Amino acid sequence: MPTGKLIVLTGPSGVGKGTLLRSLLQRHRDLRVSTSVTTRSPRPGEVDGRDYYFADRQQFTRMVAENQFLEWAEFAGNCYGTPRQPVEEMLQSGNSVILEIELEGARQIQQNFPDAVRIFILPPSWEALEQRLRGRGQDDDRAISQRLARAKEEIAAAQEFSYQVTNDNLERAVAEIESILTMANSNTARS
């Protein structure tokens, strides 16, 4: 049985990674998504095991020590990680798996899975990114400032990725990602 493809979506907070991911999953029922573990508190409406696996810092540290993550990073004072076992099982079953992760985690995936399809999502402009972050109403001014400072570093790293997609129009951005995935799958079939 052929192994599935690992797909990485990354980009700054507020760029629309989650919206793009939800759209891709609705349109492609064969894609699987990895649910991350985080030490941050649930936001309103988030469900443990669906949106994230919520863990305290001690549990997370134990999981790191036991090599239970494909990648992990600390971002804005919270830890996030991709659990290794469910992703490896989905890939071995022939399913393609999408990871929506931060830059540091995407760099770790590049080291461990050099054949992963790595896509960097860019905002249409700096102003649009700041407006999206403020418009979410999920963070205080301090957290937004941290996210914007981090976004400058992340955008500077976009060229590290095989593909960059500007999320200025949802349908166009989804179509561009679909084209990238079709190309990656046809390259795998020829190998």
pLDDT in tens, 101-138: 889 899 999 988 899 999 999 999 998 988 888 887 77
Residue 27 lies in a domain: yes
Quote the domain boundaries for residue 76: 6-190
pLDDT at 134: 80
Residue 173 lies in a domain: yes
Q: Which residue has the higher pLDDT, 55 or 182?
A: 55
From CA 124, how far away is CA 33, in angstroms rounded?
Answer: 25
Residue 1 lies in a domain: no
Give the domain CATH number at 142: 3.40.50.300
Residue 14 lies in a domain: yes
**Pick from 71-80, 90-99, 157-166: least confident:** 71-80
Residue 182 lies in a domain: yes
Q: What is the mean pLDDT of residues 96-100?
A: 94
Percent of the chain exceeding pLDDT 90 equals: 68
pTM: 0.85
From CA 39, how far away is CA 60, in angstroms rounded?
Answer: 7
Which of 74, 69, 75 has its CA nearest to residue 87? 69
Residue 82 lies in a domain: yes
Please return the burial class of 153, using the count of CB atoms within 10 Å of its CB with bins 0-12, 13-18 and 19+: exposed
Our count of domains for the chain comes to 1
pLDDT digits (tens, 9 = 90+) for 10-51: 999 889 999 999 999 999 988 999 999 999 999 889 999 998
pLDDT at 188: 57
Residue 148 lies in a domain: yes
Residue 183 lies in a domain: yes
